[in-house]
Copies of this chain bind each other. A is one copy, B any other.
C-alpha cells in the first residue's frame, strides 16, 4: 500500500513481473488481503508466482518511523522485512515511507558489522554508464568516517552488482582542489586518499553527469538533491524532446528514465532492502523487483560484510 500509486500500480507491476519469461523468483505481496486480491483479479492474474500475505496496517508517507515500528507491526513494509528475517523472503521492496522502511530494515535485519550507518545507494544515469550515488538521503550531518564507509559500500556494490572492475570513487564537492568544501568534506577527502579504494579525488556536478566516477559519494542531503534534480532533468528533456526518436535519444531515455533505475538499495544491512520511488508505476515496480533479485543472487550483503571486515582488519580500524 506504499507510494502514490498503490495499490493499483504496485500490483500491476507485480503481475507484469510474474508474467515475465525472464523471472526466476516468486513474489509475496504484503498488504490488506482483500484489497490486494481484488487488484490481482482486476489484472486477471491467477498464477502461482504471487502469494498474498495479509498486512492490514497502513503507513502514511510522513508517519514517524519509530511509530511505524512500534504500532504498525502488521503493515506491508514491516511484514515483508519480517518474512525476510525468517528466511521466507530474500529481499524486500517498498515504494512507501522510506524512513519507515529503513528503520524497519535496521531493526529487523540489523546493521552490517563495521558499518557506522547504512546508506541509500542508487544507480544513477550519466552520459556514459550508471554511477553508484550514495547516500541518496538516508542520513544527514554525517561524520567523515561515515562518508568513507559509504565509499567502501558503494565500491563493493559497483564491483559485485554492476561488474565494474576496480571502480573509481569520487567525492562530490564544490571544486577539484583538496581544500575545497565543508570541513567534513575536506576531512573526508584526506581519509579517502588513505583508504583501500580507487579514489580519484573531488568531482563536481558536471563530472557526475559526464560519468567521471563509478561511485559518487555525497552527504545524504546533497545526494538526495542530486537524485531528484536528475529526475527533474529527465522529465524536462522528455517534455522538450519527447517527440525525437534517434538512436542517441533512445539510449538517453533508456539511461535517464528513472523508472528504469530499480530504486535505492539500503546498503549496510544484513539483508536486501530496496526503497523504490514514491511515484513508482508498474514499470518501475517491475524494475525494482528484478533489481532486488539481482542483489539477493549476487549476495551483496555477505560480500560487503566480508570485504569490510577484511579492510577494517588490514587497516586496524
Please classify how large the interface on chain A is, using the bins under 10, 10 to 19, 20 to 34, 35 or more. 35 or more
Give the docked Cα–Cα distance between A182 and B209 (Å).
25
Q: Top 9 A-B pairs ranked by shortest CB distance?
A: A209-B232, A205-B228, A205-B229, A174-B224, A206-B232, A206-B228, A140-B182, A205-B225, A240-B252
Task: Tell whether A183 is near chain B: CB-to-CB under 8 Å.
Answer: yes
Give A contacts to B, CB under 8 Å: 62, 127, 137, 140-141, 172-175, 177, 181-183, 185, 204-210, 218, 220-222, 224-233, 235-237, 239-241, 243-244, 246, 248-249, 251-252
Residue of B62, B172, B183, B244 near A225 (CB, 8 A) is B172
How many copies of the chain does the oligomer comprise?
Answer: 2
B residues in contact with A205, CB < 8 Å: 224-232
For A174, give its contact among B137, B182, B183, B243 (CB under 8 Å). Answer: B137
Which residue of A141, A206, A243, A251 has the most chain B CB atoms within 10 A of its CB atom?
Answer: A206
A–B Cβ pairs within 8 angstroms, 12 of them: A127-B239, A137-B174, A137-B175, A172-B225, A173-B225, A174-B220, A185-B221, A205-B225, A206-B229, A229-B233, A237-B237, A240-B251
Report the separation of the CA atoms of residues A127 and B218 in the bound assembly, to the nearest whole angstrom: 26
